Amino acid sequence: MVSCLGQHNYMKIEHSKGIGESIKRLEDKRFLQGQGHYIDDLQLPDMLHAAVLRSPYAHATITNIDVDFALEQPGVVTILTFADLHSVKPIPIRLNPYGSLEPFLQYPLANKRVRYVGDPVALIIAHSRYQAEDVLDNIVVQYDPLPVNIDAEDKVSCPLHHDAKDNVASNFVQQKGDVVEAFNKAEHITKLRFTSGRHSGVPLETRGLIANYDATQEKLKVWGPTKVTHFNRGVLAHMLEMEEHTIEMIEPDVGGGFGVRGEFYPEDYLIPYAALMLKRPVKWIEDRLENLMACNHSREQIYEMEMALKKDGTILGIKVLLSNDQGGYIRTHGIIVPELSAAIFPGPYRIPNYRCEVRSVLTNKTPAGTYRAPGRYECNSSRERLLDLAASELMIDPVKIRSMNLIQPEDMPYEVGTESLGENIVYDSGDYPFALQEVVRLSKYEENRHVDHDNLSNKKVGYGIACFVEKTGLGPFEGARIEIDQTGAITVSTGAANVGQGLETTLAQIASSVLTVSPDSIQVLHGDTDLIPYGVGSFASRATVMAGSAVYYAAQKIRKKLLKIAAHTMNCQVEQLIISDGDICMIDHQDKRLTLTQVAQQSSPRNCPPDIEPGLDFTHYFRCNQMTFAHGATIVKVEIDITTCAIVPKHVWIVYDIGKAINPQMVKGQIEGGAVQGLGGALLEEFNYDPSGQLTSGSFVDYLLPTTTETPLLESKRLDRSPSTLNPIQVKGAGECGIAGIGGALANAVADALGDSGNNVNVLPITPEKVWQWLMPMQDKTN
Amino acid sequence: MVQEATDNSRLIKLTVNGIEYERKVETRVTLVDFIRNELGITGTHVGCEHGVCGACTVMFDGQPVRSCIMLAVQADSHSVQTVESMSSGDQLHPIQQAFWENFGLQCGFCTPGFLLTVQDLLSRNPNPTDTEIREELSGNICRCTGYQSIIAAVKQAAIYMRQE
Ligand code: FES
Ligand code: FES
């Protein structure tokens, strides 16, 4: 395996101060006092406000747009439709472009045809947001309705895009071994069709942007981007035909990301376009209805699965036909979500023969993209449910069927035989059986399951297990720049983003561990494209792994320089010096020391010795083309009232291994937050559409998010057994481990509680209505 | 920003965080938009604009209300307190301190609403049980934390406040 550590194999962290301590988060003080700067908190003088007119039809031709009356309304400055956008281009794919997807890309405004309810049709600019929204009703658009397709398995009815023969955007296969042979040898075959419902990240803060053209600097400034600011600057430059350096993207504080926030959406073009055109600042804040119908959806997939086994439960092979409901357009994620599903479907198990055919199909729904553990929440849920069904058919214990098929520690590194994002999937390290044992032990699964099952009442209790592997630390690089100024103040800058996960704290801890200063004395800057020339961003649980490693190496470089200058000043050899408590001192005479500030002063061009390059300013780009894989196991306990069919998750246990943790308490927060989001998708959250393609869950009254009363007790345990070997700080990403297994564990728990009817469980979210159907004896089992 | 006052405007007088304001405001402007955009006090957040998420919670004459579904004119002659009123200078309120120590926030967007809801809860019930805490906070949505750390923070805050 190629190591990303290159020649500097700093496997030992010399100064552990900072790393591994649950220090209080550095960003919290401003948030607690209401002093954060979220996008809608920012005002510029003379600012105009935008509103987006969205299609009320799921599929229609636009025959006419009349804006004359609307333009006369109070406060209206201008209205833009597709025809007004000069040399407009479609929004390109960010991840893994496939040429054949070009015909399905979205333009910032609809060109003569709308493809989902919420498709942007016009942009209104007015003096206030109230006025801009007033005018939405005064634009007269004539629509000619077209047949609507909301079923991803109906691939031919009325192609959504002119140049396409049907609605299949992409059709590909991932495979290894010989599945036909495996099924020929099978002693038992288990079949399951499993559906994962449409839901999404739904951050509590909606999207928002401010754009302004600064004529004195000749620069277009955009506030509000996050996640991948450098990439988005490139996209905007390409679409506006400007040079990249004439655009600055600035990330404010961000009220949650979860994969959906920060991608390049139509508004990310429209608002800067309007600001350039009007030479005035323009602000747009998405409302919640817009957020639910315009921001990326995710998760809707159907798995037709067949598993070949021996009678003892050994898996011989798996065949999957995966239909992915892409919505009306291909957006920035291309088809990465179902590709990830197909790549990670084998999970932590040895599956010698595997074939997954993916069909990503366009429908008249909001376009889909990534959401925390994209593709994996779905494939893990499906696979884990399939395993339990097989166990039930073969009368094997759910723990046993997993244990006997898990990849063993001695198999590491393990080549899965699939690929994603152009990389072969290779699990780098992990003790999968141990994680399963631990979660079984922690939850007292063996003891409690039988006791709870025997309990004869209206309340049926069930336990469900899921094991998972999580891809983290996606490459190819991330950078960090560390500067120490003349006063000794330390600043870290990076291209990674802070979407609420606490990046400022994590990076400060890593820098402080090398420089032996207190983390709160380090300022971390991020999300501004002018800070550092290159950046990738925060997604795929990569920020701590990639930016953290870059900070570590940059800090090592600056440390070396500090020692060099100190050695010169103190008239000794570098080898005689160490850094301790932020001072540079002699190993043998610790009272002989210089403060960081003193050395910083000696580093300035004025004072620096002539044979040493002045300055304390280092940038490091950490490059790695291999993901590092976290893993774990989840158990959920549910209670089902068989009279009302109410499903109450009672307890969740998650055991996970992410290698080293920089701040264990923050990691725990990631696990818990992810778990509760995952429970939302398993029990409550769903974007529903009626047959005409109307979104019927456009508010928090219809799209239900978990609150304190729907949230069970969560217990998690971090194993520290498989440090990453791919980066110097030995970390794997933590952001998606809480959510990865919970859907499957919940579904299995419901099946367990339902006893004989449990084999019907084949869908998420599981609502009381579905439980009721499963309990009905003569029910149509295909649901 | 709330622009030019039309015929639909009223002159209102209210106290926000102890300071008295007199402003002409369009009758349709919500209380949260007024506080944020007209007064420039932006600690109160808007998560849904339809009264479900609790992010916009403020104290209205000492009672928690959702300022996204109230109009600014309804606050005429009343007193409003926002999250900005909780700490004095750099000294955090015990509830804020407890949230900080217990990692009761991640992105921080829901936090102002939670802090004020907890302040109200603890003023009525200084020693709430877990079930009571869950019940009382069920009108506030947090999308980041999974609530465990928030519940721990409330228990810690209750201890701090009983010690005061
Ligand atoms: S913004 Fe007022 S309740 Fe959500
Ligand atoms: S901390 Fe992000 S919504 Fe609660």
If you write DSSP's letter for every residue of A539-553 in order, what string do you get?
-TT-IIIIIHHHHHH
CA-atom Rg of chain B in angstroms: 16
Catalogue the E-assigned strands of A67-139.
Answer: 76-81, 113-114, 120-126
Identify the band that residue A156 occupies on the pLDDT scale cut at 50, 70 and 90: low
pLDDT at A783: 42
Residue A677 has pLDDT above 90, yes or no: yes
Residues in chain B within 8 Å Cβ distance of A714: 146, 148
For chain B, residues classed under CATH 1.10.150.120 are 94-163
The Cα of B68 is separated from the nearest Cα of chain A by a number of Å equal to: 12
Ligand 2 atom with the smallest distance to the CA of A256 is 2
Where in chain B are all domains bearing CATH 3.10.20.30? 9-85
Give the span between the Cα atoms of B61 and B55, in whole angstroms: 18
Give the pLDDT mean for A505-533. Answer: 95
Which residues fall within 8 angstroms of residue A444, CB to CB, at 6 or more apart? Answer: none
Question: Tell me: the pLDDT tens digits for B93-124?
Answer: 999 999 999 999 999 999 999 999 999 999 99
**What average pLDDT does chain A have?**
94
A296-341 per-position pLDDT tens digit: 999 999 999 999 999 999 999 999 999 999 999 999 999 999 999 9
User: Rounded to whole angstroms, how far apart are CA atoms A450 and A443?
Assistant: 13
A640 with A705: CB under 8 angstroms? no
Measured in Å, residue A205 CA sits from the centre of ligand 2 at 9
Average pLDDT of the segment spanning A743-749: 98
The confidence score (pLDDT) of residue A491 equals 97
The pLDDT assigned to B6 comes to 54
pLDDT, position A422:
81
Rounded mean pLDDT of A179-202? 98
pLDDT at A155: 58
Residue B89 buriedness (CB in 10 A; 0-12 / 13-18 / 19+): exposed
Shortest Cα distance, chain A CAs vs residue B43, angstroms: 4
The string of pLDDT tens digits covering residues A52-109 is: 999 999 999 999 999 999 999 999 999 999 999 999 999 999 877 666 898 899 999 9
b or e along A377-406 (b: 16 or more beta carbons within 10 Å of the residue's beta carbon)? Answer: bbbbbbbbbbbbbbbbebebebbebbbbbb
**How confident is the model over A519-539, as a mean pLDDT?**
94
Domains of chain A (ranges; CATH) run 2-36+475-623 (3.30.365.10), 40-146+206-253+261-294 (3.90.1170.50), 301-473+626-780 (3.30.365.10)
Per DSSP, the three-state class of B9 is strand
Tokens of A539: 């997604």
Q: What is the mean pLDDT of residues A16-26?
A: 86
Ligand 1: residues with CB < 6 A are: B 46-49, 51-56, 66, 68
Is the pLDDT at B151 greater than 50? The verdict is yes
- Close Cβ partners of A603 (under 8 Å, ≥ 6 residues apart): A484, A561, A562, A565, A614, A615, A616
* pLDDT for the residue A561: 96
Cβ(B108) – ligand 2 distance below 6 Å: yes
Q: Do B143 and A677 touch (CB under 8 A)?
A: yes
Per residue in A383-410, pLDDT tens?
999 999 999 999 999 999 999 999 999 9
User: What residue type is A782 in one-letter code?
Assistant: T
Reported as a single tens digit per residue, the pLDDT across A632-646 is 999 999 999 999 999
Among A279, A289, A266, residue whose Cα is nearest residue A209:
A266
Mutate to test the pocket of ligand 2, among B100, B109, B115 (most ligand atoms within 8 A of CB): B109
Q: What percent of chain B shows pLDDT beyond 70?
A: 96
Q: How far apart are CA A256 and CA B47, in angstroms?
A: 11
Is the shortest distance between the CB of B142 and ligand 2 below 6 Å? yes
**What is the pLDDT of chain B when averaged over all its residues?**
95
pLDDT, average across residues A279-291: 98
Which pLDDT score, from 0 to 100, does residue A102 have?
87
| B9-85 CATH | 3.10.20.30
Mutate to test the pocket of ligand 2, among B102, B110, B154 (most ligand atoms within 8 A of CB): B110
Mean pLDDT, range A640-657, rounded to an integer: 96
Residue A446 has pLDDT above 50, yes or no: yes
> What is the CATH number that goes with domain B94-163?
1.10.150.120
The residues that bridge with B26 in the sheet, in sequence order, are B9
Whether residue B3 has pLDDT greater than 60: no
| Contact at CB, B99 and A28, closer than 8 angstroms | yes
Nearest alpha carbon, ligand 2 atom 4:
B142
What are the pLDDT digits (tens) for A350-392? 999 999 999 999 999 999 999 999 999 999 999 999 999 999 9
Q: How far apart are CA A575 and CA A577, in angstroms?
A: 5
Contact status, residue B21 vs residue B13, Cβ threshold 8 Å: yes
ipTM, interface predicted TM-score of the complex? 0.96
Say yes or no for a CB contact (<8 Å) between A669 and B146. yes
Q: pLDDT digit string (tens) for A678-727?
A: 999 999 999 999 999 999 999 999 999 999 999 999 999 999 999 999 99
Q: How far is A450 from chain B (nearest CA, A)?
A: 27
The reported pLDDT for the residue numbered B38 is 96
| pTM (2 d.p.) | 0.95
pLDDT at A15: 42
